[in-house]
Structure 1
Amino acid sequence: MARRVTVMAACVDLAFLALFLWFDAPLLAWLNLGSIALYAAAYALLARRINLPALALIWTEVLGHATLGTLLIGWDSGFHYYLLMFIPATIVSGGHRTRPFVLVVLLFLFYMGLHAAARATGTLAPLSATGLWVVHAFNVAVVFAMAAYTARYYYGTVRRAEHQLVALASTDPLTGLSNRRNLIDRAEQALQQPRHAGQPTALVIADIDHFKHINDAHGHEAGDRTIVHVAELLARCCRAQDIAARWGGEEFLVLLPATDTGAATLVAERIRAAVAAQPLAHGSAAIAVTLSLGVAEVAHDEPLGPAVARADHALYRSKEDGRNRVTVAGRA
């Protein structure tokens, strides 16, 4: 953001150079070359992440430019407006909690002091009435544009941070699937829509077989890679409207809206077969991975919890019957 501001500010100074040459005020014009040089130096420092000296150069340029412009052309030129641009940047700059407010107070005192100095000295290098109006209008336009740009930038930054927080709160960091809490939050709406249409909803619970043995034999990194491997294969077997989540540890749950028991069983079998057919490559080893799965249909007006309990019970029957299989729970 700071580098963008330096580029925009240097372009503004370049425009001032041309503007003052047009109004036959060469002293005012060539002063902008110094400002452009300061912004170039600040940009170079920012690119190398030498931030404090760069910000000091930016402050020096703006304070100096505002002071010279105001004293030479007069208060009505509008150069003092640029000082106001520092207020939001200073407040959001962080650091010690009192530092931004101290800087704002100092900026206020400088602003009022500049106003008093401009009234006391008068205009040292006056422009024509037309020139003064053009410079004032140009300064107002630049300040409006920069304020709008920085506000939009900070708004975008806040929105991106909000999206990241939502993603962190709703996504399992290892697999990228929904986490348990997010699935529970979304389940009510996912259940209601098929119910209004008179359609069933089913769910599948899957658990990685002998996961402790994988961890013990190959290490926890292999265990994590196994979970990710299964999650990727599981996601490929789901439709866009399905909600796949890491339910906990090595266990996954898939909510299948508008799906009856028979269709859910086919989905579960597809997931089981896909995982069994693709061992995980880990170094020179190929780790065979299988799943045990349980399927349950959610009864009409039944909350998610009892259906999950039935699917979980069916999953454990799959474990007891030899693993790497799908078991369907009875109806509620």
Structure 2
Amino acid sequence: MQGLPPNTPYKRNARPEFWQLSMRCCQLAGSVDVAFFFIFLFLDSPILAWINVISVTMYVCAYRAFKRRRNLLAFRLIQTEVLVHVGLGTVLIGWDSGFHYYLLMFVPALFVTMQARSAWILAACLWSYYAGLHVLMWYIEPLQPIPSNALLGVNIFNLTVVFFMFSYLALFYVITVTRAHNSLSQMATTDSLTGLLNRRQMIALTEKLLARHNRRPTNLTLMLMDIDHFKQINDRHGHDVGDRVLTAVSRLFQSLMREQDFIGRWGGEEFLAVLPDTNLEQAAETAERIRNTIQAMRLDSADTKVGVTLSIGITQYRAEEALSTAIARADLALYKGKSAGRNRVEAVQA
């Protein structure tokens, strides 16, 4: 939140999605108070009707504060409106009106927007207010009672609104947690720059594939690829261009590989691809197609165009061998290609 003093009890990192949810709840609450205005006019309770006019005004102000990212002001306006409105509604027409349900809405909001200690303190205050109203209405009669049937209708209306809002909060929580889980999962398995699988995920997926392969052997080929003279690209054109090269090359990899293949950034400018159900000859054809496509690629940089080439080493996996052994063999093929002048495909037999 903007504009909060250093010692504020409110969380600076409260999720933006929560404030968006608060804006929607603000709109809903304002609409509910508009409905209450007409309900209490119909029930011949003008004081309660005009209380809802003030409430709608406060929700409009809170909504505008949210729009201006003055979230603390908006939250305090909503707090004030609900606390006062609940108290007045309960005292005027009775505990059975169900206005006290709205106080429960603050419990999750407190713990989302505030530091834990402050949230617990205010939750205790909220409980005291709630219990105090309940006890008070045991000893006094409503100041402006309405017919019992109308009172039941108001109770059901309030219960329905709060039920809907709690359901909305639960849905928001599930969606937020799911998004966070997916985001963390993606961060843990993909390379942040290229979007390809990272080294750890490549090893994990390949080990699973090898376990199936060892039970039911098929052709399986590993392809290790390295961008030629990548350090010179960084030195001559800058690391920003180097990052663009890595990103562009990675996109081409993804477009040229089959759906059942998977490829990841193995480290720096080096990439590893695993091709199931592919023999050495088929892999060599794929590697040549990739090499030619990369060679034809050009990236704009200042007043020049940057071109890159690719050296590729391929090998076929041998049943029951360690993954590291197969990768070392692909690395040997890659080294032979580099030694022979780069921009070429070399294969080493299993």
User: TM-score normalised by the shorter chain: which range applies?
Assistant: over 0.9
1:17 and 1:196 map into 2 onto residues whose CA distance is: 73
Does 2:293 correspond to 1:274? yes
1:237 maps to what in 2? 256
List aligned pairs for 1:237-276, cutoff 5 A: 237-276=256-295
2:22 and 2:139 map into 1 onto residues whose CA distance is: 35
2:114 and 2:255 map into 1 onto residues whose CA distance is: 44
2:32 maps to what in 1? 12
Match 1:23 to one of 43, 46, 56: 43
1:177 maps to what in 2? 196
- Structure 1 segments (4+ residues) deviating >4 Å: 192-198
TM-score (normalizing by structure 2): 0.91
How much does 1:8 deviate?
0.8
State the number of aligned residues.
330
Match 1:159 to one of 163, 178, 184: 178
1:221 and 1:168 map into 2 onto residues whose CA distance is: 22
List aligned pairs for 1:124-203, cutoff 5 A: 124-193=143-212, 198-203=217-222
How much does 1:123 deviate?
0.8
1:52 maps to what in 2? 72
Deviations, residues 198-224 of structure 1 (Å, cap 9, x unaligned)? 422111110011111111111111211
Aligned-pair identity in percent equals 45
Match 1:76 to one of 96, 103, 107: 96
How much does 1:288 deviate?
2.1
1:191 and 1:14 map into 2 onto residues whose CA distance is: 65
2:17 maps to what in 1? none
1:276 and 1:210 map into 2 onto residues whose CA distance is: 13
Contact kept? 1:276, 1:290, Cα under 8 Å:
yes
1:303 and 1:168 map into 2 onto residues whose CA distance is: 27
How much does 1:194 deviate?
5.4
Contact kept? 1:183, 1:245, Cα under 8 Å:
yes
How much does 1:192 deviate?
4.3
Does 2:322 correspond to 1:285? no
Deviations, residues 163-187 of structure 1 (Å, cap 9, x unaligned)? 1111111111111111111111222
Does 2:225 correspond to 1:206? yes
Q: 1:71 is aligned with what amino acid? A: V
Give the aligned CA root-mean-square deviation in angstroms: 1.5
Query: Unaligned regions of 5+ residues in structure 1, if any?
Result: none
Query: Unaligned regions of 5+ residues in structure 2, if any?
Result: 1-20
Q: 2:312 is aligned with what amino acid? A: L
Deviations, residues 81-102 of structure 1 (Å, cap 9, x unaligned)? 110111111122243x311111
Contact kept? 1:191, 1:257, Cα under 8 Å:
no
User: Which secondary structure does the structure 1 equivalent of 2:223 belong to?
Assistant: strand
User: Which secondary structure does the structure 2 equivalent of 1:138 belong to?
Assistant: helix
List aligned pairs for 1:83-98, cutoff 5 A: 83-95=103-115, 97-98=116-117
> Is the deviation greater in 21-30 or in 246-255?
21-30
2:8 maps to what in 1? none
User: Which secondary structure does the structure 2 equivalent of 1:85 belong to?
Assistant: helix
Q: 1:160 is aligned with what amino acid? A: R
How much does 1:158 deviate?
1.2
Contact kept? 2:65, 2:71, Cα under 8 Å:
yes
